[in-house]
């Protein structure tokens, strides 16, 4: 797995960088990645760049470990981007064929004026997957407990940060005045910063949140997924040109993800943990099982990959609430449901 963490850029600079990458790739005829479906009987190599490597994405790892992608003729090269901004940059530059991240990134690229924008074709999660971790063991936690405190948050304009602000506002807490949210720590480094003594709370995905608890350095006090409600948190996307030239590949990919969702929906947490364990060698089976169960209990995963217009509208509302979306963007341009409706 390839791991690279860079400094976090302001959202305007990120949008500018992504647009520059798109224009450059367009000028060179989209030379990166595969450009046509493979008909020679060999597995087609696909580079999939995921926003984070987390048990939150269990159906994807089930699809990998159970051979669903290979059954569909695909050889997945999985890369972890550590942040939606980095995943999208990899996608539009041609380093990745498919990106897996919060769909807000596709909205930013489209709003930036790109003609070869990223199109979402399959949704995986329907709730946030991170948890609020406190330094102290707060019994009967209420969101008002964060007032006057410091929270290690995420990049401005990123889904984790926007959902945190969304939850705070739902609980009548002003994100700008009632709390201090630290946003200048690289994605993937907040847990280490928290362990070193920075902040009163941190928002972490699994298995990191559980690891902090096991090391007695913090306590999970709230689920972002439960407290934010149903939201289209993460989805798969590819450049418009790639989908047009590789429709068969996108269909095969969607078929494999659907099989992963169906497995997770119909099997126990222990069975799922056993399958995905090779993806998380640093965690024991008992820990993976408890995390999967936590996600199952809050109804984290969809049972199909269809990205509905209702969900997309909710996403736009969250972006508008955060001040990240000034003008409306069309659902029918940024979401393609053809492949979800044609799964085998």
Mind giving me the DSSP string for 215-262?
TTS-EEEEEHHHHH-S---EEEEEEHHHHHH-HHHHHHHHHHHHHHHH
- 23 part of a folded domain: yes
Identify whether 207 is preceded by a cis peptide bond (ω within 30 of 0): yes
- In the numeric block, which tokens belong to residue 313? 């509208």
Q: Which helix (H) or strand (E) holds 130?
A: strand 130-134
Q: Which pLDDT score, from 0 to 100, does residue 159 have?
A: 87
Q: Which pLDDT score, from 0 to 100, does residue 186 have?
A: 84
Instruction: Kindly give the interhelix angle for 11-27 and 104-111, rounded to the nearest 10 degrees.
Output: 70
Are 106 and 240 members of one domain?
yes
Are 305 and 240 members of one domain?
yes
State the CATH number of the domain containing residue 187: 3.40.190.10
Are 168 and 95 members of one domain?
no
Q: Which pLDDT score, from 0 to 100, does residue 38 have?
A: 59
Are 195 and 300 members of one domain?
no
- 6 part of a folded domain: no
Q: What is the pLDDT along the chain (344 residues), one digit of tens a residue?
A: 433 333 333 444 444 444 444 444 333 333 333 333 656 679 999 999 999 999 999 999 999 999 999 999 999 999 999 999 999 999 999 999 999 999 999 999 999 999 999 999 999 999 999 999 999 999 999 999 999 999 999 888 888 899 999 999 999 999 999 999 999 998 789 999 999 999 999 999 999 999 999 999 999 999 999 999 899 999 999 999 999 999 999 999 999 999 999 999 999 999 999 999 999 999 999 999 999 999 999 999 999 999 999 999 999 999 998 899 999 999 999 999 999 999 98
Are 118 and 158 members of one domain?
no
Residue that is last in its domain, among 211, 228, 245: 228
Q: Which pLDDT score, from 0 to 100, does residue 12 have?
A: 42
Domain that holds residue 223: 130-228
- 169 part of a folded domain: yes
- 1 part of a folded domain: no
Are 168 and 186 members of one domain?
yes
Are 120 and 146 members of one domain?
no
Q: Which pLDDT score, from 0 to 100, does residue 187 have?
A: 78
CA angle 316, 322, 328 (to 5 degrees): 30
- 212 part of a folded domain: yes
Residue that is last in its domain, among 184, 206, 228: 228
Number of domains comprising the chain = 2
- 2 part of a folded domain: no
- 322 part of a folded domain: yes
CB-CB contact of 186 with 5 (8 Å): yes
Q: Which pLDDT score, from 0 to 100, does residue 67 have?
A: 98
Please state whether 41 falls in left (phi above 0), alpha (psi between -120 and 50) or beta: left
* CA 336 to chain centroid: 18
- In the numeric block, which tokens belong to residue 235? 């989805």
Are 68 and 90 members of one domain?
yes
Query: CA quadruple 243, 163, 216, 288: dihedral positive or negative?
Result: negative
Are 218 and 140 members of one domain?
yes
pTM of the model: 0.84
- 165 part of a folded domain: yes
The CA dihedral of 203, 198, 53, 55, to the nearest 10 degrees, is -50
Are 204 and 260 members of one domain?
no
Q: Which pLDDT score, from 0 to 100, does residue 39 have?
A: 60
Are 261 and 181 members of one domain?
no
Are 140 and 288 members of one domain?
no
Residue that is last in its domain, among 173, 202, 228: 228
Q: Which pLDDT score, from 0 to 100, does residue 95 have?
A: 97
């Amino acid at each position: 797995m390839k791991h690279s963490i860079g400094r976090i850029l302001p959202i305007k600079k990120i949008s500018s960088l992504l647009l520059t990458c798109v224009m450059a790739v367009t000028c060179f005829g989209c030379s990166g990645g595969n450009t046509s479906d493979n008909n020679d009987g060999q597995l087609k190599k696909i580079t999939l760049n995921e926003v984070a490597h987390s048990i939150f994405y269990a159906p994807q790892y089930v699809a990998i470990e159970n051979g669903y992608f290979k059954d569909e003729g695909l050889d997945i090269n999985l890369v972890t981007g550590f942040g939606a901004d980095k995943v999208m940059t990899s996608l539009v530059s041609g380093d990745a064929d498919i990106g897996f991240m919060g769909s807000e990134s596709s909205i930013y690229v489209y709003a930036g004026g790109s003609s070869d924008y990223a199109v979402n074709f399959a949704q995986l999660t329907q709730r946030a997957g991170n948890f609020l971790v406190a330094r102290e063991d707060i019994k009967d936690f209420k969101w008002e407990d964060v007032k006057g405190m410091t929270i290690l948050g995420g990049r401005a304009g990123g889904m984790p940060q926007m959902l945190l602000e969304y939850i705070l506002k739902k609980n009548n807490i002003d994100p700008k005045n009632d709390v201090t949210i630290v946003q200048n720590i690289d994605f993937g480094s907040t847990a280490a910063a928290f362990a070193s003594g920075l902040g009163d709370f941190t928002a972490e995905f699994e298995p990191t949140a559980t690891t902090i608890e096991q090391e007695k350095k913090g306590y999970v006090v709230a689920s972002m997924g439960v407290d934010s409600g149903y939201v289209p948190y993460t989805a798969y996307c590819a450049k418009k040109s790639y989908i047009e030239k590789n429709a068969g590949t996108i269909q095969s990919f969607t078929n494999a993800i659907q099989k992963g969702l169906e497995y997770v929906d119909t099997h126990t947490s222990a069975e799922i943990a056993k399958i995905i364990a090779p993806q998380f060698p640093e965690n024991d089976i008992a820990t993976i099982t408890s995390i999967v169960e936590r996600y199952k209990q809050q109804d984290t995963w969809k049972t199909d990959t269809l990205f509905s217009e209702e969900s997309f509208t909710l996403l736009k509302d969250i972006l508008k609430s955060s001040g990240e979306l000034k003008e409306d963007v069309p659902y029918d341009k940024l979401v393609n449901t053809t492949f979800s409706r044609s799964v085998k």
